[in-house]
Chain A
C-alpha cells in the first residue's frame, strides 16, 4: 500500500519569499512521486515527477522537489513566490513502481500569497 501525508493544510507566504510545501510518503515499492497543482475551476496540472533518476527534480514555474529516502520526504520548494502561485497543491504517489496506475493523492495544501 502507498500513501502520502501533506503536513500543512494551508500555507501563507509573502510575494517574493520562499515557498515550502511538505510531503511525507509511504510506499512498499520504490515510489514514483508527483506534485500536481489545481487552480480554482481548472484541471489538475503536473508540476514535476520523480521516478528514481536524480533526487532533485525541477518542474515548471520555478518549482523543485527533493526526494529524500532516509526521511521518506518529497518537499516542494520555490525560491520566490509569485501571486499566480496561489492554488491547491497535491503530493501524489503511484501505485506501482514507475507506473501511472492508481495514483494516491494527499489531502492537499492551499497556498496563499500575500501581496
Chain B
C-alpha cells in the first residue's frame, strides 16, 4: 500500500493561467474523490468517480473546473482561467466500494496559490 499520491505538492500560478493536478489512488480502490480545503476550514467535497464514471459534482465545481479519470485509475483536476479565490489545498482521496465500503484514504494534497 503506497498510499494516495498527488502531484505537484505546491503550485504557484498567475491569475488567468490554467493548472492541472494529478492524483494516483491506491491501486485496488475503485472510487476517487476530490476535495478542496481553504485556510481554517474543513475540506469541501468537489466530485467523485466510481471507476471512470464521474457520479457526482458539487455546485462548488464551476465550469472552469473539470475532472477526469479516463481509465479508472489516476485522475486529473484542471482549473482554467484561475482566480485568486481558487487558492486552496486540493485533496484527493480513494476508497474501495464493494460488499463493505472502505474508509477514504487521503493524499497529502496539492497547495495552489494564485497570484
State whether A100 touches B109 (Cβ < 8 A). no
For the complex, would chain B's binding face be called helix, strand, loop or mixed by DSSP majority? loop
Instruction: Give the contact stretch, choosing among A12-20, A70-78, A79-87, A104-112.
Output: A104-112
B41–A108 touching, CB < 8 Å: yes
How far does the alpha carbon of A98 sit from the alpha carbon of B43 in the complex, in Å?
20
Q: Any chain B CB within 8 A of the CB of A115? A: no
- Distance, CA A105 to CA B44, complexed state (A): 7
Chain B min CB distance to A41 (Å): 7
Residues of the A chain whose Cβ atoms lie less than 8 Å from the Cβ of B93: 44
Contact check, A105 vs B104: say whether CB atoms are below 8 A apart: no
Check A102 against B56 for contact (C-beta < 8 Å): yes
Residues of A within 8 A of B28 (CB): none
A46 at the interface (CB under 8 A from B): yes
**Range, interface on chain A:** 20 to 34
CB distance from B1 to the nearest CB of A (A): 13
Residue of B nearest to A95 (CB): B45
Q: Is A90 an interface residue (CB 8 A)?
A: yes
**Inter-subunit contact B103/A46 (CB<8 Å):** yes
Is A100 touching B101 in the complex (CB atoms < 8 A)? yes
Which A residue's beta carbon lies closest to that of B46?
A102
Bitwise interface map of A from 53 to 93 toward B, beta carbon under 8 Å scored 1, else 0 = 00000000000000000000000000000000000001010
* Chain B residue at smallest Cβ distance from A34: B103
Residues in B lying within 8 Å of A, measured CB to CB? 3-4, 31, 33, 40-45, 48, 55-56, 58, 91, 93, 95, 97, 101-109
20 A-B pairs whose Cβ atoms sit less than 8 Å apart in the complex: A43-B3, A43-B4, A43-B105, A43-B106, A43-B107, A44-B43, A44-B93, A49-B103, A90-B42, A99-B101, A100-B95, A100-B103, A100-B104, A101-B55, A101-B56, A103-B43, A103-B45, A105-B44, A108-B40, A108-B41
